């Protein structure tokens, strides 16, 4: 007897529920039974043609021409019979989210019975169990990955209206890998962890659909595979696993002979079936270092004067209107005194009150009279150095002399909410480019790409709120920030290069007495970590601690 099954699939990778639906059946005159299988819209999306939703981090699933499903039939006595492996037919005008296929009941199987469906995995029956292979899959591109879906329906007498809810047997571990060099990066990609700490079932494991339990715990290794990332691009890979209830431990990243220089901490809970978990990693500019990306939360603008105090936008208020492209006021390295980025010379000086309400005054303090950290001597400086972030530079005494980390000062005095700090030199340098080295702009936005014409801007406002339409976009993981070409003041306070030259101070000191690190760019390229005279005036973009 032939029966036709209509399969409808909705689409998002979120936790799935397994429900049981009785399907009344009435044989028609033609002997064709119409069934409907539905994945609820709240289900996680994980099969067939997988792709990333451009508006969020969801993984979208669509049926693909030529896909097949495995069918099994359980009779009232509990015995199980394998059915055919029909090929689906995509329903037109459904964005490949619905499909139909014909079902032929095996000999000796009649209603009532239970129909089980398996898609995306091998499965077999011994007559009493339906065992699905739930071995982990190594990292693959989304369009190469198949993720197991299962469902069941009770076939009983009655009308021909019903549904087969589908659910996920596992979770996706997604890794966006960035290649910051101009050559392709190709290697076998894997997660590293202490043997025995697996948070998923190992190769060879079997899951029984009848008892809804793992009936065989495998001991095989994960089949990691070679992947390739084109020059200066990012590729999203995904690995399918079936969670075993254990909490994922500290993990590292391996790619061929490279081992990540940092690790991801242990999670606080295990993985849930039907969810996608995202990691971000990168191979540096020289292909000598591999690490997990640690995207920072950058402030939504440079520091500016709002009429009563120095402050900044904590988030991007209106990217379309360019709120993140405020020019910002300038600071000598380590000074808390803001200096206008305009021909009209104005200074903004903090009046720090220990344990009380601090305030600001505007005036015109001579540039060379503004205190900074020029002359502070240190050995062992470098782009990871945190000199201005350190406690010693952020004491009451330092604040009374208008020196310290301006971001920490604004946090402490309530100009902004939360805790903020100045970025280190390394925070500007996700690609791991050598200090004082210039590189060209990336055409793929990774990590730095150029926008605007870099034309000279005139008529800048003294408060730093002028919007500068040229600059650089910095992309690390899922974090994207724009930095305007704000110009600068030289060591004597001369205003230069608004619209054609962009820089931002870091908190990192260079070995010696007169240099510190900043990020700088021009139309032809950028220096992620360039050391320069601490007396120069550059904008500051804070990062959240």
433-469 residue pLDDT tens:
999 999 988 776 789 999 999 999 999 999 999 999 9
Place of tokens 């429900």: 19
Query: Is the confidence at residue 313, as pLDDT, over 50?
Result: yes
Provide the pLDDT for residue 49: 47
Query: Residue 254 and residue 189: Cα distance in Å, rounded?
Result: 6
Q: What single-letter DSSP state applies at residue 176?
A: E
Q: Can you name the residues that pair with 391 across neighbouring β-strands?
A: none
Q: Which residue has the higher pLDDT, 257 or 42?
A: 257
Provide the pLDDT for residue 442: 77
Provide the pLDDT for residue 420: 98
Name the pLDDT band for 88 (thresholds 50, 70, 90): confident
Query: Residue 413 and residue 4: Cα distance in Å, rounded?
Result: 70
Provide the pLDDT for residue 95: 66
Query: Is the confidence at residue 1, as pLDDT, over 60?
Result: no
Tell me whether the omega of the peptide bond preceding residue 447 falls within 30 degrees of 0, making it cis. yes
Residue-by-residue DSSP string for 437-496: --BPPPTT-SSEEEES------S--TTS--B---EEEEEETTEEEEEE---EE-TT--EE
Length of the chain (residues): 545
Provide the pLDDT for residue 61: 65
Nearest by Cα to 179 from 255, 232, 256: 232
Name every residue whose Cβ is closer than 8 Å to that of residue 111 and which is 6 or more positions away in sequence: 25, 155, 156, 157
Contact 95, 62 (CB under 8 A): yes
CB hemisphere CA count around 51 (13 angstroms): 9
Per-residue pLDDT averaged across 336-357, rounded?
97
Per-residue pLDDT averaged across 109-115, rounded?
86
Choose the most confident range, by mean pLDDT, from 19-23, 81-85, 338-342. Answer: 338-342
Per-residue pLDDT averaged across 178-207, rounded?
95
Name the pLDDT band for 12 (thresholds 50, 70, 90): very low
Q: Sort residue 334 into left (φ over 0), alpha (ψ -120 to 50) or beta.
A: left
Provide the pLDDT for residue 502: 98
**Of 364-368, 374-378, 384-388, 484-488, where does mean pLDDT reach its minimum?**
374-378
Query: Residue 483 and residue 84: Cα distance in Å, rounded?
Result: 59
Query: Is the confidence at residue 176, as pLDDT, over 90?
Result: yes
Pairing assessment for the beta strands 149-157 and 164-168 based on DSSP bridges = antiparallel
Contact 292, 264 (CB under 8 A): yes
Mean model confidence pLDDT for the chain: 87
**Tens of pLDDT along 483-529?**
999 999 999 999 999 999 999 999 999 999 999 999 999 999 999 99
Provide the pLDDT for residue 526: 94
Percent of the chain with pLDDT over 70: 85
Query: Is the confidence at residue 50, as pLDDT, over 70?
Result: no
**Tens of pLDDT along 468-480?**
999 999 998 778 9
Provide the pLDDT for residue 156: 75
Provide the pLDDT for residue 16: 29
Provide the pLDDT for residue 25: 33
Query: Is the confidence at residue 4, as pLDDT, over 50?
Result: no
**Tens of pLDDT along 212-244?**
999 999 999 999 999 999 998 999 999 999 999
CB-based burial, 248-284: b 16+ in 10 Å, e otherwise: bbebbbbbeebebeebbeeeeeebebbbbbbbbbbbb
Residue-by-residue DSSP string for 81-111: EE---PBPEEPTTSTT-EEEEEEEPPTT--S
Query: Residue 6 and residue 2: Cα distance in Å, rounded?
Result: 13
Q: Which residue has the higher pLDDT, 377 or 353?
A: 353
Rg from Cα positions in the chain: 30
* Cβ neighbours around 526 below 10 Å, total: 26
Name the pLDDT band for 59 (thresholds 50, 70, 90): low
Name the pLDDT band for 108 (thresholds 50, 70, 90): confident
Per-residue pLDDT averaged across 74-98, rounded?
81
Provide the pLDDT for residue 112: 85
Query: Residue 479 and residue 475: Cα distance in Å, rounded?
Result: 6
Query: Residue 421 and residue 411: Cα distance in Å, rounded?
Result: 8
Task: Indicate the burial class of 541 (C-beta count within 10 angstroms; 0-12, 13-18, 19 or more).
Answer: buried
Provide the pLDDT for residue 45: 34
Provide the pLDDT for residue 162: 52
**Of 66-70, 125-129, 204-208, 312-316, where does mean pLDDT reach its minimum?**
66-70
Name the pLDDT band for 94 (thresholds 50, 70, 90): low
Provide the pLDDT for residue 27: 32
């Amino acid at each position: 007897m032939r029966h036709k099954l209509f399969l409808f699939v909705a689409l998002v990778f979120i936790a799935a529920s397994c429900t049981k639906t009785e399907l009344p059946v009435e044989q028609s005159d033609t002997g064709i039974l119409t069934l409907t299988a539905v994945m609820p819209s709240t289900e996680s999306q994980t099969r067939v043609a997988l792709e990333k939703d451009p508006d969020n981090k969801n993984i979208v699933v669509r049926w693909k021409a030529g896909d097949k499903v495995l069918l099994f039939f359980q009779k009232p006595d509990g015995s199980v019979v394998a059915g055919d492996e029909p090929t689906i037919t995509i329903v037109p005008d459904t964005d490949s989210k619905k499909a139909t296929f014909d079902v032929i009941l095996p000999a000796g199987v009649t209603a009532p019975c239970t129909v089980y469906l398996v898609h995306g995995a091998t499965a077999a029956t011994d007559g009493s169990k339906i065992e699905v292979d739930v071995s982990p899959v190594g990292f693959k591109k989304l369009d190469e990955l198949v993720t197991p879906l299962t469902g069941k329906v009770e076939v009983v007498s009655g009308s021909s209206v019903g549904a087969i809810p589908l659910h996920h047997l596992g979770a996706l571990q997604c890794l966006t890998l960035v290649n910051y060099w101009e050559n392709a990066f190709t290697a076998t990609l894997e997660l590293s962890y202490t043997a025995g700490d697996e948070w998923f079932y190992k190769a060879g494991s079997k899951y029984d659909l009848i008892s809804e339990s793992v009936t065989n715990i495998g001991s095989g290794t994960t089949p990691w595979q070679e992947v390739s990332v084109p020059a200066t691009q990012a590729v999203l890979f995904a690995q399918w696993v079936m969670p075993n209830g254990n909490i994922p431990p500290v993990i590292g990243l391996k790619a061929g002979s490279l081992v990540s220089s940092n690790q991801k901490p242990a999670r606080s809970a295990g993985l849930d079936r039907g969810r996608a978990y995202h990691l971000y990693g990168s191979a540096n500019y020289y292909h000598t270092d591999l690490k997990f990306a640690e995207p920072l939360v950058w402030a939504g603008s440079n520091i500016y004067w709002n009429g009563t105090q120095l402050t900044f936008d904590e988030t991007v208020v209106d990217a379309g209107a360019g709120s993140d492209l405020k020019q910002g006021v300038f600071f000598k390295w380590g000074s808390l005194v803001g200096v206008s980025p305009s021909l009209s010379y104005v200074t903004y000086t903090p009046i720090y009150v220990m344990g009380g309400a601090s305030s600001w005054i505007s005036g015109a303090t001579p540039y060379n009279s503004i205190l900074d950290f020029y002359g502070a001597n240190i050995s062992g400086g470098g782009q990871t150095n945190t000199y201005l972030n350190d406690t010693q530079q952020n004491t009451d005494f330092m604040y009374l002399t208008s020196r310290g980390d301006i971001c920490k000062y604004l946090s402490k005095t309530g100009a902004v909410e939360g805790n903020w700090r100045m970025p280190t030199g390394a925070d500007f340098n996700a690609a791991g480019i050598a200090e004082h080295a210039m590189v060209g702009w990336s055409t793929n936005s990774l990590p730095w790409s150029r926008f605007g014409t870099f034309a000279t801007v005139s008529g800048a406002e003294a408060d730093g709120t002028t919007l500068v339409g040229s600059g650089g976009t910095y992309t690390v993981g899922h974090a994207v920030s724009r930095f305007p070409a704000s110009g600068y003041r030289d060591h004597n306070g001369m205003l230069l290069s608004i619209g054609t030259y962009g820089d931002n101070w870091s908190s990192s000191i260079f070995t010696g007495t007169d240099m510190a690190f900043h990020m700088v760019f021009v139309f032809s390229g950028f220096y992620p970590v360039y050391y320069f005279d601490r007396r120069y005036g550059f904008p500051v973009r804070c990062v959240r601690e």
